[in-house]
Every structure is written in C-alpha cells, then in structure tokens.
Amino acid sequence: MAVPAQAAGYADPVISLSATHLSGAVGAYGDPAVTVDVEQAGVPAGFLRLRVVSSSNPAVAGAGDVRQERTRSGDRALTVRPRTQGFTDLTLEVTGRGGRTARATLSYAASARVGGAAATRYLTGSSDASAAVDVGRDHVLVAGDESNVLRLYDRSRSGGPVKTWDLGAALGRKKEAGIEAAARVGDTVYWAGSLGNNKDGKGEAERNTVFTTRITGSGAATEVVFGRACKGLREDLTAGDAAHGNRYGFAAGTAAGQTPKQIDGFDVEAMEFAPGSASTAYLGFRAPLAPAVPGGRALVVPVVNVDRVLAQGARAEFGEPIEMDLGGLAVRDIRKNAAGQYLILAGPFAAADDSDPYALYQWDGIPGHAPKKRMDLPTADPGGWEAVVDVPDLRRPGARVQLITDSGAADLYGDGQEAKDLARPEWRKSRAAWFTLR
C-alpha cells in the first residue's frame, strides 16, 4: 500500500511508561498512576493522541476503565478503576502526525475490594511488612520478614517506596534476618529478628539478630545508616529463663524441630522502650503464651541494657517478665508516643491466622498495670495486622491510628498464589489502613 506523501516526513512516535506493571484494588482510593511519555520528532506532545486499544481481560478492566490526565510536563498520567479482582494486559497506542503509531503494554493486577476502602492505602514492592517506624511528614520506614531491605513510604498514598536500603551486606547475612520488631529512641532505631526457628523448625543464625540504624532527616528526605548488630540475644533469653526454672520454656521453644508460631513456641514480634527510658526495651512475644494454654496471658520481657548490648556487646540483662491479659491473644506490636501512651496490637500466636481475632489495647507501659481494650479489628480481608505506625493522643476523641498488614501469605489476585511468591515486586503489597479508636 502506498504511503501518503504527508506521512513520509514524520518519524514514528515513541511511547514509554514509568512502570510496565501496576497493582490496584477494586474500589480503592488514591491508587497509583503510571506516567506515559509520548513523543514524535518535530511534533508538540499535545498533538499526539493516546488511547487504550485493547484489554486481555475486560472483566477486570477495559478501555473505559482507564482515566487519562495531562501532567504539567505534557506527559499523560493513567489510572485504572478495576471492576473485579484479577489480571489484565492493557495495550496503549499513541497516534502521531501522518497517522504513525506506536504501542506499549501495561500489565495490571487488581486485588479485591476491602472494608474501609476510603481509609486504606497499599504499600507496594513487598507484601511482608512486619515492623514500621514513623519518620515524620507522613512517611514511614517499613521492614519485612522476607528480606533485609528497609523501605521508605509516603503513608498517605498508595504506591512503591520512595527509597530503599538493602542491609544484607552490612548484616553479613545471605538470608533474611526475619525482621519482626522495631523501636526508635532519638535518631536510633533498634530492629530485631524473630529470634526463633524458621517455619520448618530449623534454627537459622540470621533470625537471631538485633541491630541498629541511625536516622537523619525526616519525611521523604529520610536517610538510613547502618549501626551495629548483636547475634546472641536468643541465647541470653534462654539462659535467663533456665536460671528461673525454665518458667516459659524458652529452651524447648527454640529446640530443633520446634516451630515458632505455636502456643509453646518462641517468636518475638514487638519491641518498644519502657516509659522514660533509652536503655530498657520491652520485647513482645507472639509465642509462647504464659502459661502455654488456650487463654494464657501475653508475654513481655524487659531487656534493661539493650543500649549496651548493641554498643558494647554486653550480655543482655532482664527485668521481671510482664504477663498481661489480652483475652488469650499474643503481642504482635507495641508502640508508644511522646506522652508515654502505648498501643498494643494483639493477635493470635498461630501461623495461619488472617481470620483469627485481632484487637488494640491501650497501656501506660508500667508493669503490673493492666492494658485496656480499645477496639476489635476487622479480619475479613486478606493479611494479618502486624505493625502500628504511630500512636496518636489517646485522650483525644476520634483519634486515628494507622496499621499495616503482613499480606505475604494472602492470595491477593484470586490466582491461588501467595503474594510473597508473585514474580513481579510491583504486584506484591501490604495494606495500610486508618482506624478511629473507640
């Protein structure tokens, strides 16, 4: 076919995407956009036409479900409003002068609608959030238990991390440290692995790690510098328990073949500093319960010299263990504010626990003082509640708190695959949601 004379003078247009894979959610608010850059030599970008020409799965999202907006730079920002859970490939086409065209594909994944969608955001890039530290200006530093990477997110919106820091080399570990807990004092953040065995009951040195990082800046300008690491806290805990008649069964809980997330297991999932202290850290246990029977109390062990443990390599010293009634639930996170008000995220000790009860308790951090239940948490949607971002003024009516899930074992897209095993990191995500305390 002959090419029209007017087309001969025009080059082919070019289309490029800021991301070729994107995750969204049905009914979501503030889902992330993909920026599409369209160019044709000698032609202003405003004269180029961009459209969605096909969808491999219109039931998930079709051409009419893609919204296009012009950016200040002249690019196009595309957002998708999915109809249902699943995957689709969206073919984009730009048409330039002379009828010349170019195409690109956006691979899109939609998770199901969740309760409280208006107060929900998604932190993409990892699905295994396990500890979170507020760094100000609506940003949060998040660790996962499936990697040694710290990720900085804007917690007010859905999307990928602003920055990342891979601490594997600094830790001297090839495997993940299984980070489960974090606590900040000044510009220092203490991070702890689970200290227990892996899910198969095998002891892994990587998980027996506590380390520090130093924080500079705040918000999007936050920077992280690795500090020091300690690799003997589990042995100190076990020796301390043995010296008191194996009161909590730490030796048995860490023995070969013992899985950590059972009622008499051994699994640390929370850490926070005692009131007014920069040296005493409370370790919150997912397992064991005390006693290790249904309805047992949750366990918190004070490490009274955690500063010297990390700075000088000192042996850990412990205060009197704290047993608290959380309605038969265990500690999944502890966080306090500058006023010394604590929130305890309580959840089940079991491994497959997404639909089991979760609750928030208020506490004053003083041993012997009972925590007070503030609210039950919803459990109908995928993911287990795992981290408290920060604690608001608990005396203020209508105070809101943001929580983050570990969604690693969740089937987010209805394909039978666990989120942590998805091939594309852009499709792995944890859910962050605000709750108004009652």
Tokens representing residue 345 in the block: 């995220």
CA neighbor of 38 nearest in space, from 12, 11, 15: 15
Q: What is the CATH topology of the domain spanning 117-436?
A: Neuraminidase (2.120.10)
Confidence of residue 438 (pLDDT cuts 50, 70, 90): confident
> Who's near 69: CB < 8 A, 6+ residues apart?
33, 76, 77, 79
pLDDT, average across residues 351-376: 93
CA torsion sign for 279, 285, 290, 296 is positive
Residue 355, pLDDT score: 78
> What is the CB neighbour count within 10 angstroms for residue 328?
16
Distance in angstroms between the alpha carbons of the first and the last residue of the chain: 72
> Who's near 281: CB < 8 A, 6+ residues apart?
183, 190, 271, 272, 273, 274, 302, 303, 306
Residue 253 has pLDDT above 50, yes or no: yes
Q: Phi and psi at residue 169, in whole multiples of 5°?
A: -65, -40
Task: For domain 11-111, give its CATH number from 3.40.50.970, 3.90.1150.10, 3.40.50.880, 2.60.40.60.
Answer: 2.60.40.60
pLDDT, average across residues 72-97: 94
Express each pLDDT in 302-345 by its tens digit: 999 999 999 999 999 999 999 999 999 999 999 999 999 999 99
As a whole number of angstroms, the distance between CA 382 and CA 375 comes to 19
pLDDT, average across residues 223-229: 97
Residue 372, pLDDT score: 98
Residue 7 has pLDDT above 80, yes or no: no
In the chain, what percentage of residues exceed pLDDT 90? Answer: 91
Residue 3, pLDDT score: 42
**What is the secondary structure of 1-23 as a DSSP string?**
-PPPGGGTT-PPPEEEES-SEEE
Residue 8, pLDDT score: 59
As a whole number of angstroms, the distance between CA 62 and CA 86 comes to 12
Tokens representing residue 315 in the block: 């042996």
Whether residue 260 is preceded by a cis peptide bond, meaning omega within 30 degrees of 0, is no
Express each pLDDT in 160-181 by its tens digit: 999 999 999 999 877 888 999 9
> What is the CB neighbour count within 10 angstroms for residue 188?
16
Instruction: Give the distance, in angstroms, between the CA of residue 179 and the centroid of all CA atoms in the same chain.
Output: 11
Tokens representing residue 88 in the block: 């689709």
Break the chain down into helix, strand, coil percent, rounded to 5. 10, 40, 45
**Contact 72/86 with Cβ under 8 angstroms?**
no
Residue 4, pLDDT score: 44
pTM: 0.95
> Who's near 134: CB < 8 A, 6+ residues apart?
140, 141, 184, 389, 390
Q: How far are the Cα atoms of 105, 134, 319, 362, 438 from residue 397, in angstroms, in the given order?
A: 48, 22, 35, 14, 8
**Mean predicted lDDT score pLDDT of the chain:** 95
Tokens representing residue 238 in the block: 């076990």
CA neighbor of 116 nearest in space, from 438, 414, 436: 436
Instruction: Give the distance, in angstroms, between the CA of residue 89 and the centroid of all CA atoms in the same chain.
Output: 27
Say yes or no: do domains 11-111 and 117-436 share a fold.
Answer: no
Name the residue ranges covered by the structural domains of the chain.
11-111, 117-436
Residue 354 has pLDDT above 70, yes or no: yes
